Every structure is written in C-alpha cells, then in structure tokens.
Amino acid sequence: MIACFVFFLVAFALLQLTTRSLVAAKSLRKRVVDPGMVAAELSITNRLEEGTFSGDFGEIYPEYSWQYRVEEVESNGLFKVEFEVVPRGGGNETPTRMSALFFRPGSPPGARSGGLAR
C-alpha cells in the first residue's frame, strides 16, 4: 500500500512538472506571420490593378495587418507586388516584407506604357 502511494505521488509530481514545462514552452513560442499567405491569396486572381491595398487577417492573427502595392513593370502584363505584414501593437517587432512578380496579361494597362518602370 505504501509503495503504491509513493509511486502515484512521484507519477503525479512528474505529470505536473511536464504540464508546467509545456505551458512555459508554448508561451515562449514566437508567432511569425508570413507575407506569403497574402501572396498566395493574390496569386489565384487573373487580373491585377496598380495601387495600394490593405487589410487584416481577421481572427486568425488579430494583432497583424497586411498591405501590398502593385506596380506594372512592363507593358506586357508583368507586375511587381511588394507585400508587408505589420504588427499592430508596436513593440520591438519589425514589419515582414516580401516582393514577387506576377504575369497577368489580362490585366488592364497601367498609367505607363512601355519601357521599364523605375
């Protein structure tokens, strides 16, 4: 009887220690929001228009917002898109940036015609 008591006492102590360690490790995990999520959503569109667009991630990542800028690089439907994910709370976090090129020949022509942009 005493041996069972000691065994269960040690088992519950180890279980409590493991649970506390997992909770502490989870709280230290840093959430990194990748601009690739916004790029993936934009990649399924057939048309792009020049301009700046912004939004947020809703309930998935409520502390982050996103924005992207579309710029026509060539007159043949090649667009450069610069993505940025911005933390809303400020702090020490820096925005995450990414650029991508999209070929969308069906898009309306931009303000520039021909030649390389900037």
At 44-97, the pLDDT tens digits run: 888 888 999 999 988 888 889 999 999 998 778 899 999 999 988 766 778 889
Q: Is the pLDDT of residue 116 over 50?
A: no
Judge whether residue 115 has pLDDT over 60: no
Burial of 42 (0-12, 13-18, 19+ CB in 10 A): middle
Rg (CA), the chain: 25
Please give the pLDDT value at position 85.
92
Q: What does pLDDT average to over the chain?
A: 84
Can you give the pTM of this predicted structure? 0.64
Identify which has the larger pLDDT, 67 or 31.
Answer: 67
CA distances from 24 to 10, 20, 33, 40, 93 (A): 21, 6, 21, 33, 21
Closest CA to 81 of 110, 113, 59, 114: 110
What single-letter DSSP state applies at residue 68?
E
Q: Is the pLDDT of residue 105 over 70?
A: yes
Structure tokens at 29: 């995990």
